[in-house]
């Protein structure tokens, strides 16, 4: 199979994969939020079963083609045609190649910001700054209890979904797809739970606080090696047989 080079061909921002991540470290805080606001943000035909959000901080010290960087964002548990998975709502990171590659290849909603994940004495601490403004802080007791590896592996193997929109030169949507992808070749090296907290603050261009924290449900800290698999189209919103009401509501059509 021939694979097109990333654009522009004279100066691509990232190499062709596969993209292998070693010692990828996660802090994931699951919290309960406003169900109405959550459903307004999740595209059909994905379904929201519970008003839950996962706020993630991810350290990636060794990633093929992308280098060393940190990422943070909100992931929403969903179901698609009876299969449980996750919808990537927003992502913030401090490295240009994975921003460009993530948006161009998969449709990841990546933006430039400054997330951190580090150990501070007896706590794991995640922070997210958009410019000079702090918009998220998470804390978790460091390795208080070993997590159930089976449950963690099952979660990592679930499908992930993205809304990929690429405009035509006149601004109208040329690609509008629901993309499905998986994490592959997972080597889970450790997983822990413990007490946790999460605070979010408003920002006009990074509205993570629009999904407010009503209750912290759980927290997980894990370290794994894995490969980010290339995606497939799970649903084409521009197919003639598909209704256009959601597309028109979320993408302004330029006449």
**Is position 110 annotated as part of the catalytic site?**
yes
Contacts of 229 (CB under 8 A, 6+ apart): 18, 181, 182, 183, 184
- Cis peptide bond upstream of 8, omega within 30: yes
Residue of 37, 54, 110, 143 with catalytic role:
110
What is the C-alpha to C-alpha distance for residues 3 and 224, in angstroms, rounded to an integer?
28
Across 108-127, b (16+ Cβ under 10 Å) vs e yields bbbeebbbebeeeeebbbbb
Q: What are the DSSP E strand ranges found in 94-182?
A: 110-112, 114-120, 123-130, 133-141, 145-146, 160-167, 173-181
Q: What are the DSSP E strand ranges found in 11-144?
A: 19-32, 52-63, 67-80, 83-93, 110-112, 114-120, 123-130, 133-141
Give the Cα-Cα-Cα angle 137, 206, 105 (nearest 5 degrees): 105
Catalytic residues: 110
């Amino acid at each position: 199979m021939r694979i097109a080079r990333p654009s522009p061909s004279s100066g691509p921002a990232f190499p062709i994969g596969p993209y292998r991540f070693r010692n990828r470290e996660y802090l994931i805080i699951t919290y309960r939020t406003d169900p109405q606001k959550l459903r307004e943000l999740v595209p059909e035909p994905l379904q929201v079963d519970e008003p839950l959000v996962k706020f993630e901080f991810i350290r990636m010290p060794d990633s093929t083609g992308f280098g060393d960087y940190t990422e943070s964002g909100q992931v929403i548990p969903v179901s698609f045609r009876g299969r449980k998975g996750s919808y990537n709502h927003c992502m913030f990171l401090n490295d240009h190649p994975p921003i460009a590659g993530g948006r161009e290849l998969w449709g990841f909603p990546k933006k430039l910001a400054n997330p951190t994940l580090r150990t501070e004495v007896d706590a794991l601490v995640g922070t997210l700054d958009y410019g000079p403004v702090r918009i998220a802080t998470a804390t978790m007791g460091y390795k208080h209890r070993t997590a159930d590896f089976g449950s963690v592996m099952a979660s990592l193997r679930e499908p992930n979904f993205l809304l990929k929109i690429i405009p035509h030169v006149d601004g109208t949507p040329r690609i509008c797809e629901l993309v499905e992808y998986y994490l592959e070749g997972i080597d889970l090296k450790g997983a822990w739970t413990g007490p946790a907290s999460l605070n979010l603050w408003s920002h006009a261009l990074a509205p993570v606080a629009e999904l407010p924290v009503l209750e912290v449900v759980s927290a997980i800290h894990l370290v794994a090696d894995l490969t980010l698999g290339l995606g497939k189209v799970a649903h084409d919103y521009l197919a003639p047989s598909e209704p256009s009401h959601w597309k028109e509501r979320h993408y302004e059509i330029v006449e």
